[in-house]
Structure 1
Amino acid sequence: MLETPARPKRIGFVSLGCPKNLVDSEVMMGLLAHAGAELTTSPESADVLVVNTCSFIDSAKQESVDTILEMARHKVTGHAQKLIVAGCLVERYRDEIRKNIPEVDAVVGTGELESILAAAGLDTPAPATETASPFNILSGVAARAEGDLRESQGRFSRTEWDGAVPALPQYLYDHTTPRLLATGKSSAYIKIAEGCDHPCSFCVIPNLRGKFRSRRFESVVSEAEALVARGVREITLVGQDTTCYGEDFGLKDGLAQLLDRLARIEGLVWLRFLYAYPNKITGRLLEVIATHANICKYLDVPLQHASPNVLKRMKRGASADIFLKTIEKVRAAVPGIALRTSFIAGFPGETEADFNILADFVREAKFDWLGVFGYSDEDGSQAFSLDEKVPQRTIEARKRKLMKLQQGLSKNAKSAWVGRTLNVLVEGESEETPLLWEGRTEFHAPEIDGKVYINDFGPHEALEAGRFYSCEITEAHDYDVVARIL
């Protein structure tokens, strides 16, 4: 009598945090699918649940913990037999997670993605990568001098983190690594680098992700070409600092070279990158953005503040005047470019005068998109030990004031869009009402900026998600616009 073949393990994934974390989730899902697992979007039917966590600020950590506890309940009420926690929270709280949440069966750090197979009970060997090591460790690659300096200064220390693996993460996927896209058929992220060498005093990402390391140039090109061959039309390059790309290989203007090469891939409609470090925006980079029609006229430069006193305590440097000159240079080189930035309100030592400098800068710079984080006191960051902490109530008030200021600036800017004809990537029905569809222009990065709401399909009876349409902007609101299909 023939035996019924065993059903493949069903594995459910929850990915939290930034696009870089999402790429990690897609790699782990790809590895699992390659090993024979079946991925499911239903946690109730999953045999194994994986939560890929974020540990950037307190609110992200709390969301991660809440999600872990929510998924843990499915071990009682559903089919789940295993709960795996992955990502940044593991690097910071490896032992505490297992001690305080006994439902967790395994943990996978940011540098251990391939160990997801053993954690899930799938011991099939991972496919070979560019190196012969168990993980895709870039052995023999020269590090950036800045990274070596920071390491000698203790920048990447994890000695005070209970349970942290002493060795910094070194894993970096390549074009041969299986990957299962979670972003639909038309858009995809490509992680071109991992880690960070900058000394920013508010940030623990270097401790969580390791030293800066770039992917091989041709590996990125090969992955992009394969994605476009599969129907992807928008690629967003991500990394903690994409503008340092290639410096560890000795490349000058490595990001500009990479963009110039990728923009030549036939069938790629939009190409963009996140994020730019302000002093790394070179003339060559701007020239490449301006030259290629399919490189989105969009630049995300997280400036963090504008007061020189606060920036110095942040270990960032510069000032409002320097930033304004950079913005002027960018807008002159790439007319019509959309600029996005983010700031931290209430950093230790931020006075009312410092905040007013920041507010004045926002008024003068007139960013297209702006995000504001309230300062989060992260144990392990250098800012944690700074004095002159700003009261939480003041932090929230300053955050609200900045966002209110930006709301008015955005409303004025968006009103100038009315009457323009723009190419829009339609993403699907609006979550608010099926009567509206929504999409993005080249001036909108995925998920983080405003939306284009479509209330008139023009000559089409129905729209197709993932396609580009020519649209006329008919209305403007604070952050969003309304359009009709032409």
Structure 2
Amino acid sequence: MGKRVTTQVSAEEIAQQYKYIEILRDYNQARISRLGRPVKYNIETFGCQMNENDSERLSGMLSEMGYSESAKRTDSDLIIFNTCCVRENAEQKVYGHLGALKKLKENNHELVIAICGCMMQQPEVVEHIRKVYKHVDIVFGTHNLYKFPELLNTAVENKGTVIDVWDSTGSIAENMPITRKESLKAWVTVMYGCNNFCSYCIVPYVRGRERSRDIEEIRNEVVKLAQEGCREITLLGQNVNSYGKDLEGEYSFAGLLRELDRLDGIERIRFMTSHPKDLSEELIYAVRDCKKVCGHLHLPVQAGSSKILEKMNRKYSKEQYLDLVEKVRKHIPDISLSTDIIVGFPGETEEDFAETLDVVAKARFDMAYTFLYSKRTGTPAAKAPDQIPEEVKKERFDRLLALQNHVSRDINDRLLGKEVEVLVEGLSKSSKTTYTGRTRENKIVNFKGSPQLVGSLVRVKIDTVQTWSLLGKLV
């Protein structure tokens, strides 16, 4: 089969959305005059960094339409829930919040309620919302986010529920507005979708097949961010290691990193997520060689047992994963590693779990994001007969956490008395005089500083170590 080429949404279609933005801007200006106050929007984001980045795009469209952002639902004229469906509790939370909006809608008939994101790509969810939550005005998915201006205009004009969820798309929409949450750091999506079909994961079904953005589009976005004062970018994709496989020509993620490393203005480049089966030597060398690419790798292992990894359809064994970690450390000795681990996958025995603990002890992750296995309807693992009881999962989870905390603390202890480079992000949440930032290895460092340091790279000597953060003094 030939290479499927990812296409871009046509310039005409994008121009059409800008026309709807203009119509809504005029509509909102009239409302602002009538109401004598700004019209406000509130977006609540559930889920991963991709969702955060999608919400930034929705914010960009809304501010172009004349809306102001509000932190509160109660004084908003438009409320959007951008949803996640990776774990069941995220879905239940969304339904709870949706129910609470009914009262707001009764008190304000002009309130528009929209719901989008991964949850909406599941037909049974859309049907449930249509039947039970009749106060929802707009339902759309992950593939047609760029059409939000058109959908909002339809909802405003027709006063009925607008449902527009696409099964999939091979296209990428460029040049839509975006409002970044932060000025110093930015998410840059380099590809959408996933082709891996891990047996527990709903993502390929809701985000579609892998689609890479054009390298020039990514480059232009990063150049613009640098001009706007951004110092650090995180390249996003469900599996960034697959970047370029669907494009015509010889493109790779390692090549993309080398290209972006040459750009002026950006100080640091991070990326996530890497699938172990696709982590090439070429990429390891790129991380080693590129001055701006940070020495931190997020490499989800998910489980330590080769038997469970096969059931998960991860395409590598425990031994292959540990060999890969060894290879990465050989070429980049100071790299920090983080991972994802699922506890209690169907069929996981005590022996299998012991293998996971063994991987944690041997790989020595700086940090692990640990999850109890959660059934996702539509995935093969959800139908597996040998589901693990909740209390067994929880007991294993606690043991895993205890070991990982010990490893994390041990790694951090070795930084005591050392000098580290920190990108100053701003004031710490809990203090008026303590500033916070991260090292290239993604360690959080707190120190006494001053406002003019924000956005600069400083040297900090570590004098106190905690499990999840470090304290130090400016050098």
- Name the structure 2 match of 1:67: 97
Range moving further from structure 2, 115-124 or 336-345: 115-124
Counterparts of 2:459 and 2:222 in 1: how far apart (Å)? 25
1:35 and 2:65 matched: yes
- Name the structure 1 match of 2:276: 278
What is the CA distance between 1:6 and its match in structure 2?
3.9
- Name the structure 1 match of 2:77: 47
Unaligned runs of 5+ in 2: 1-28, 33-37, 157-162
Counterparts of 1:344 and 1:360 in 2: how far apart (Å)? 15
Specify the SS of the correspondent of 1:287.
Answer: helix
- Name the structure 1 match of 2:444: 451
- 1:211-230 to structure 2, matched below 5 A, reads 211-230=209-228
Range moving further from structure 2, 196-205 or 30-39: 30-39
Counterparts of 1:11 and 1:397 in 2: how far apart (Å)? 42
- Name the structure 1 match of 2:423: 425
List per-residue Cα deviations over 1:327-373 (Å, max 9, x = no partner). Answer: 01001111201111111110000000000011111111111111111
Specify the SS of the correspondent of 1:349.
Answer: coil
Counterparts of 2:324 and 2:141 in 1: how far apart (Å)? 37
Alignment partner of 1:96 out of 124, 128, 132? 128
What is the CA distance between 1:69 and its match in structure 2?
3.5
Range moving further from structure 2, 43-52 or 211-220: 43-52
Counterparts of 2:391 and 2:169 in 1: how far apart (Å)? 37
- 1:228-267 to structure 2, matched below 5 A, reads 228-250=226-248, 252=250, 254-267=252-265
What is the CA distance between 1:433 and its match in structure 2?
3.7
Alignment partner of 1:482 out of 457, 471, 474? 471
Q: How many residue pairs get matched?
A: 434
Alignment partner of 2:321 out of 323, 333, 348? 323
- Name the structure 1 match of 2:35: none
Could you say if the C-alpha distance between residues 252 and 365 of structure 1 is closer, same or farther in structure 2, counting changes exceeding 3 Å?
farther
2:304 and 2:358 in contact (8 A); partners too: no
Could you say if the C-alpha distance between residues 383 and 5 of structure 1 is closer, same or farther in structure 2, counting changes exceeding 3 Å?
closer
Alignment partner of 2:459 out of 449, 470, 474? 470
1:17 and 2:69 matched: no
Unaligned runs of 5+ in 1: 125-162, 445-449
What is the CA distance between 1:103 and its match in structure 2?
2.1
What is the CA distance between 1:87 and its match in structure 2?
0.6
- Name the structure 2 match of 1:179: 178
What is the CA distance between 1:258 and its match in structure 2?
0.5
- Name the structure 2 match of 1:294: 292
1:308 and 1:319 in contact (8 A); partners too: yes
Could you say if the C-alpha distance between residues 5 and 349 of structure 1 is closer, same or farther in structure 2, counting changes exceeding 3 Å?
closer
- Name the structure 1 match of 2:16: none
Specify the SS of the correspondent of 2:134.
Answer: coil
Counterparts of 1:258 and 1:299 in 2: how far apart (Å)? 16
What is the CA distance between 1:399 and its match in structure 2?
1.1
Could you say if the C-alpha distance between residues 10 and 120 of structure 1 is closer, same or farther in structure 2, counting changes exceeding 3 Å?
farther
Query: Quick one: which amino acid aligns to residue 461 of structure 2?
Result: E
Specify the SS of the correspondent of 2:266.
Answer: coil
Alignment partner of 1:120 out of 146, 152, 164? 152
Counterparts of 1:90 and 1:255 in 2: how far apart (Å)? 30
Counterparts of 1:399 and 1:80 in 2: how far apart (Å)? 47
What is the CA distance between 1:272 and its match in structure 2?
1.0
Specify the SS of the correspondent of 1:203.
Answer: coil
Alignment partner of 1:111 out of 143, 158, 177? 143
Query: Quick one: which amino acid aligns to residue 255 of structure 2?
Result: Q
Could you say if the C-alpha distance between residues 73 and 405 of structure 1 is closer, same or farther in structure 2, counting changes exceeding 3 Å?
farther
Could you say if the C-alpha distance between residues 465 and 45 of structure 1 is closer, same or farther in structure 2, counting changes exceeding 3 Å?
farther
1:451 and 1:480 in contact (8 A); partners too: yes
- Name the structure 1 match of 2:168: 168
Could you say if the C-alpha distance between residues 294 and 251 of structure 1 is closer, same or farther in structure 2, counting changes exceeding 3 Å?
same
1:401 and 2:431 matched: no
- Name the structure 1 match of 2:385: 387
Counterparts of 1:73 and 1:224 in 2: how far apart (Å)? 43
Specify the SS of the correspondent of 2:263.
Answer: coil
Counterparts of 1:387 and 1:302 in 2: how far apart (Å)? 25
Specify the SS of the correspondent of 1:431.
Answer: coil
Could you say if the C-alpha distance between residues 19 and 72 of structure 1 is closer, same or farther in structure 2, counting changes exceeding 3 Å?
farther
Could you say if the C-alpha distance between residues 268 and 166 of structure 1 is closer, same or farther in structure 2, counting changes exceeding 3 Å?
closer
Specify the SS of the correspondent of 2:172.
Answer: coil
Query: Quick one: which amino acid aligns to residue 210 of structure 2?
Result: F
TM-score normalised per structure 1: 0.84
Alignment partner of 1:437 out of 430, 435, 438? 435
Alignment partner of 1:340 out of 324, 338, 341? 338
Specify the SS of the correspondent of 1:43.
Answer: coil
Specify the SS of the correspondent of 1:44.
Answer: coil
Specify the SS of the correspondent of 1:324.
Answer: helix
Specify the SS of the correspondent of 1:303.
Answer: coil
Counterparts of 2:370 and 2:164 in 1: how far apart (Å)? 30
Specify the SS of the correspondent of 2:187.
Answer: strand
What is the CA distance between 1:428 and its match in structure 2?
2.7
2:88 and 2:374 in contact (8 A); partners too: yes
Higher relative helix content: 2
TM-score normalised per structure 2: 0.86
Query: Quick one: which amino acid aligns to residue 178 of structure 1?
Result: P
